[in-house]
Structure 1
Amino acid sequence: MTDQPPVLDPLASVRDTGDPVTDVYLTGPVFLDIIFTGLDSAPVRGTESWARGMGSSPGGIANMATALARLGLHTALAAAFGDDMYGDYCWESLEQHEGIDLTLSRKVSGWHSPVTVSMAYEGERTMVSHGHEAPPPEEAAPQDPPPARACVASLTAGRREPWLARAARHGSRIFADVGWDDTGRWDPADLADLEHCDAFLPNAVEAMRYTRTDCPREAARRLADRVPLAVVTMGSEGAYAVDSARGQTAEVPALTVEALDPTGAGDVFVAGFVTGSLAGWPLADRLAFASLTAALSVQEFGGSLSAPGWLEVATWWQHAKTYDDQDRGALRRYAFLDELLPPAARPWPLRRAVPTIGFRQTPPAPAPGGTLGPR
C-alpha cells in the first residue's frame, strides 16, 4: 500500500480493456545506497573527509522502478533481496511506500544485500560498491516476463539477456540503457540485444565509445542504424535523439539547476522518456520531459527517493511561468505541460533519503472512528 495515490495517470487516454495490468517490467540488482553529500573535494588517501549531508535509499534498479512508479506507471520489479535488515528496508520502501509490484521478486536466505557508497562533490559522484551475485532461483527453467506495455533493460558487456527476446515476442516495447564497460573493450558486438529493442538510451561517453566517434550526435545517428530510436544524453548540453523509424531528430537543452547529488539522474531520465513514449507524446516533448525529471532529481540526494512525482513537476512549472520574458523564451519548450498537469498542486512532499535506515516515519494519529487519516 502506497503512502499516496498517483496524482494523475499519464496513460489514461490510451488505456483500453484487455491491456496488460503492468505498464513497465524491470529486472536487475537492488542495492542499498548510502549517499554522502556536501564534500568540498574528492577524498584524499590517508585523510578523513567529513560530509555535510548523508542519506540512505534503495538503489540499483530501484532508482528506475521508483521513478516510473512516481510518474503513475504500474511497475513490476523482479529482483533478489537479501534477508538482512538492508533487504527488508529496500523491500518495504519499494512495495509499501512506492506501490511497486514485487510479486516476481524473491528474498534469498543467507545472502546479504549489495551496498553502494556514493560520494557527491563538484557536481559529480564517486561510488564504491560491494556485493555478490545472488544465487539462482530454485526453478531451473527461465521465467517469461509478465505481459507489459514496456520493459526496461540494462545491457551488460559480454552478456545476452534471453528474456528480452521473449518479451519482445509477447508485444512489449523494449527500452534499453547500458552500463559502464569495465573491460575497456566497448565492443559493438556486445550490443547484440539491440535487435529486440525499440529504443536505446546511452550517455554521450558510452555512445561515442561504442560507435568509435568523437561527437555524441554522430554517435546517435550511427546507433539509429541498429535500433529504431537512439537517444543520447549529453550532460550540460542536453539530449539528442534520432528516430530512424520515422525519419525524425530532436534536441533539447539541459535545464540549469543547482545539483546536489546526480546519483540516479540517468535512470530518472529513462523513466521520464518511457512515460512520454507510452503516452504517445511527440519526440521533442518526451526529450524535454525526461530532461526535466532528471534535473529535478539532482536537486535532492538519494538515487531512488529523489525521483520527482507529478506534483514536483507541477510546482516547478507554476514557478517557471513566473520568470521574466527572457527566461520564459527558453522555457517555451515546456508549454505542453499546461494541458497535462493537474490544475492545482496540493502539498505532498515526497519521501527523501533519510540519514539512517534505523529511523521510522511517525505514524499519523488515528482519525475519528479508529481509522487512519490522510497522510
Structure 2
Amino acid sequence: MPIAIAGSIATDHLMTFTGRFADSLVVDQLDKISVSFLAHRLEIRRGGVAANICFGMAGLGQRPILVGAVGEDFSDYRSWLERHGVDCTSVHVSETQHTARFVCTTDDDMAQIATFYAGAMSEAREIELGPIAQRVGGLDLVLVGPDDPEAMRRHTQECRDRGIPFVADPSQQLAFSDGEFIKQLVDGAEYLITNEYESHLTAQKTGWSQDEINDRVRYRVTTLGKDGARITGADIDPIEVPAAREVTRADPTGVGDAFRAGFLTGVNSGIPLRQSAELGSMLATYVLETIGTQEYELGRGRFLERLADSYGAESAEIIAPHISCPHR
C-alpha cells in the first residue's frame, strides 16, 4: 500500500572547533565581524526529515515514496537511499540549485554557528502528487512534513482535493508560520503528529483550543521525549506508550523521524495504534544510540527481542509478521 513522504531532503556538514567562539568575538565590534575558525573534524551526514523517515520505513521492509526537491549533487545520496529500498523516482531535480545543506560548527562550549541553505528545496512547490499517485496505482497516505512552505500548502490541499488521507507533520516550520497557514496544514488530517511543545505552539498560533484541534483531525499523535508518546482520537480511548528501553545515548538527532517511520510502518501494515507507536518508539531508540540519522542497522531477530523486552511478547508477536528488515 503506497505511502508518500513529502518533505526536506538535505545533507548536514558538521564541524568541530577546539576552542571557544567567545574568545574570538569582540562584543562592541560585532557589526564589523570578520573571523574564521579552524575546524579539526568534519562529518557529512545524510539528512532531511522526509529522507530520514523513508530510510526508517524501508529498513522495516516498506517501499516508501520520497517526495521532495534536490540538486544534481543528489546522485550519491539517491544511490544510498535506493540501495536501502526507498523509491526516489518522484524526487524533483533542480537544474540550477544544490540540494539543501546545513553547515554547522560547534565549539568546546557546545556553542554553534550554523547556516542553512534551502537551495533546491524551494522548487518542491512544483511537485504535483497526482502523477505520483498514477505511477504507483494510487496513494493510501501522504505525510506532509517540513519543507518549502508553498510545497506544504500545495500538497495538503491536493490531498484534500483528491481525497487522499494525509498526515500533518509541520514540525520545524511551526516556529516560522502564522496561524492561518498552520490551520491550512492541519485541518482535515488523518493524523497530526507533533511533539508536546509543538502541540501547544499549534494551539497558540491558530487560536484553536486543544479540543478544537482534536475535532479537526482524526488522530493526534504527540511525542513526549523520554516519556514516550500519546495518541488520542474521537473514536479511541487515549493511548500512552512509554519510550523503549535504550542501551546507550549517542545523538538525539533524527529520533522523531524514526518514530514516524516506525509508526507509519505499523499503520500501513494494519497494526493497531498502540503497537504502531511501540514500533516507532523502538526504531527511535536505534537512532538515539547511533551518531547520524541513517547510520543504524536493523536485524529482525534482535529488533523483535528488544521490542519484546520493552513492550512484552504479545506486542512483538503482533508486529513480527509485518516487518522484514531486508537491508541489513
TM-score band w.r.t. shorter chain: 0.7 to 0.9
1:198 corresponds to:
190
Q: TM-score, normalised by structure 1?
A: 0.67
Secondary structure, in 3 states, of the residue corresponding to 1:336?
helix
1:302 aligns with 2:289: no
1:277 aligns with 2:267: yes
Instruction: Give the direction of change, closer, same or farther, for the CA distance of 1:185–1:89 in structure 2 (3 Å limit).
Output: closer
CA distance in 1, matches of 2:90, 2:254: 23
Q: Which amino acid aligns with 2:157?
A: A
1:92 corresponds to:
79
2:29 corresponds to:
none
Instruction: Give the direction of change, closer, same or farther, for the CA distance of 1:62–1:171 in structure 2 (3 Å limit).
Output: same
Secondary structure, in 3 states, of the residue corresponding to 1:249?
strand
Conservation of the 8 A alpha-carbon contact between 2:174 and 2:198: no
2:144 corresponds to:
153
- The within-5 A match list for 1:39-54 is 46=24, 54=43
Instruction: Give the direction of change, closer, same or farther, for the CA distance of 1:316–1:114 in structure 2 (3 Å limit).
Output: same
2:242 corresponds to:
253
1:363 corresponds to:
none
Q: Which amino acid aligns with 1:113?
A: T
Considering fraction of residues, name the structure with more helix.
2
1:78 aligns with 2:83: no
Counterpart pick for 1:57 among 46, 59, 62: 46
Structure 2 spans left out of the alignment, 5+ residues: 25-36
1:180 aligns with 2:172: yes
Conservation of the 8 A alpha-carbon contact between 2:68 and 2:121: no
2:27 corresponds to:
none
How far the C-alpha of 1:36 sits from its partner, in A, is 6.1
2:218 corresponds to:
228
CA distance in 2, matches of 1:300, 1:204: 24
CA distance in 2, matches of 1:113, 1:104: 15
Q: Which amino acid aligns with 1:281?
A: I
How far the C-alpha of 1:143 sits from its partner, in A, is 5.3
The number of aligned residues is: 303
CA distance in 1, matches of 2:316, 2:127: 45
CA distance in 2, matches of 1:236, 1:264: 14
Q: Which amino acid aligns with 1:116?
A: F
Q: Which amino acid aligns with 1:231?
A: V
CA distance in 2, matches of 1:235, 1:316: 21
1:286 aligns with 2:272: no
Q: Which amino acid aligns with 1:129?
A: F
Secondary structure, in 3 states, of the residue corresponding to 1:340?
helix
Secondary structure, in 3 states, of the residue corresponding to 1:224?
helix
Conservation of the 8 A alpha-carbon contact between 1:221 and 1:230: no
How far the C-alpha of 1:209 sits from its partner, in A, is 1.6
2:31 corresponds to:
none
Counterpart pick for 1:131 among 118, 139, 143: 118
Instruction: Give the direction of change, closer, same or farther, for the CA distance of 1:230–1:334 in structure 2 (3 Å limit).
Output: farther
Conservation of the 8 A alpha-carbon contact between 2:249 and 2:289: yes
Q: Which amino acid aligns with 1:29?
A: S
1:107 aligns with 2:107: no
How far the C-alpha of 1:196 sits from its partner, in A, is 3.5
Structure 1 spans left out of the alignment, 5+ residues: 1-21, 214-218, 322-327, 351-375
CA distance in 2, matches of 1:276, 1:335: 15
Q: TM-score, normalised by structure 2?
A: 0.75
Residues 181-232 of structure 1: CA deviation (Å, up to 9, x unaligned): 476666265232322310000111111122249xxxxx86553222111111
CA distance in 2, matches of 1:320, 1:125: 36
Conservation of the 8 A alpha-carbon contact between 1:36 and 1:120: yes
Counterpart pick for 2:199 among 199, 207, 210: 207
Instruction: Give the direction of change, closer, same or farther, for the CA distance of 1:70–1:332 in structure 2 (3 Å limit).
Output: closer
Percent identity for Structure 1 against Structure 2? 19
Secondary structure, in 3 states, of the residue corresponding to 1:56?
strand
CA distance in 2, matches of 1:41, 1:255: 36
1:353 corresponds to:
none
